[in-house]
Amino acid sequence: MSITEAVLLGVLQGLTEFLPVSSSGHLVIAQGFLPGFRQPGVFFDLVLHGGTLLAVVFFLRRELAKIAAALLPRKTATAEETAGRAVSRRLFLFLIAATAVTGILGLPFRNEIEGLFSSPRAAALLLLVTGALLYFADRVPGANRKEKDMNLPDALVIGIAQAAALLPGISRSGATISFALFRKIDGETAASFSFLLSIPAILGAFLLEARHIAGLPEGELAAYGAGFVAAMVTGFFALKLLYLIIRGHRLRIFSYYCWIAGAAVLIAGA
């Protein structure tokens, strides 16, 4: 793999990790068109996810700081501060619950899921599913619940959606945001919870795939680093773009893209 190919894949990852169009599906499809592409397990994909992880940590640094502060003891606080800290602590517990559900549902099928990452056709079919989720989620009326209104069933449903997004072609952000909208959660709140939830998910996946480090192809360290940086920078700007789109209630534009992209790959491979 050349540095140019790694950068292109990094840019693709950065754009599609946060825009609800399935980064894993796009990587599988793009890698299928690169002659001679190989990686140990899905380690290169995880390196790119690591770049987008840094992007989301920086983008949501204030939310992360609020959660961290709420978990630390504090002797004096106003009634408003106490209420805000309680919401942040509950949010932290909901993130743990959703992450646990994802792990419980996803880990037993890890090998089968990893096998699908070599099938552009499977990724294309599941892109069509992502498109359907986005289309119907964008039509949900009265989605105005905020962080303070979230409950444990919300977290469990979103965790199940994230487990389904382990499949290439099912967008993690698309699935989690869609199911949050189905639960009447406000779009920006849904996006923030989705991206906070991505942090433990990406870290966990990286640790699981760390065993493949020893199989890193010789001479490709620079390419892996270039892909990481490209994914990080592109991912940050993709986050800003998605929040603008969510505020405008135009999420369904991504459903049309998913349908077109999925259908095009299926037709090309027919």
Give the pLDDT of residue 189.
Answer: 93
| pTM assigned to the model | 0.82
**Domain coverage including residue 33:** 3-269
- The residue written with tokens 């096998």 in the block is 115
pLDDT value, residue 88:
92
- What's the CA gap between 225 and 17, in Å, rounded? 18
**Residue 233 confidence (pLDDT):** 94
For the chain, list residues with pLDDT below 50.
Answer: none
The number of distinct structural domains making up the chain is: 1
User: How does pLDDT run across 162-179, given as a tens digit for each residue?
Assistant: 999 888 888 888 999 999
Q: Which residues, other chains included, contact 140 with Cβ-Cβ below 8 Å and sequence gap of 6+?
A: 181, 182, 184
DSSP of 171-207, one letter per residue?
Answer: -HHHHHHHHHHHTTB-HHHHHHHHHHHHHHHHHHHHH
pLDDT number for residue 232 = 93
- Using CA atoms, how far residue 64 sits from 115, 140, 159, 176, 226, in Å, is 34, 29, 19, 19, 27
pLDDT reported for residue 235 = 92
Query: Do residues 117 and 237 make contact, with C-beta atoms less than 8 angstroms apart?
Result: no
pLDDT of 117 reads: 64
Quick one: pLDDT at residue 58?
Answer: 93
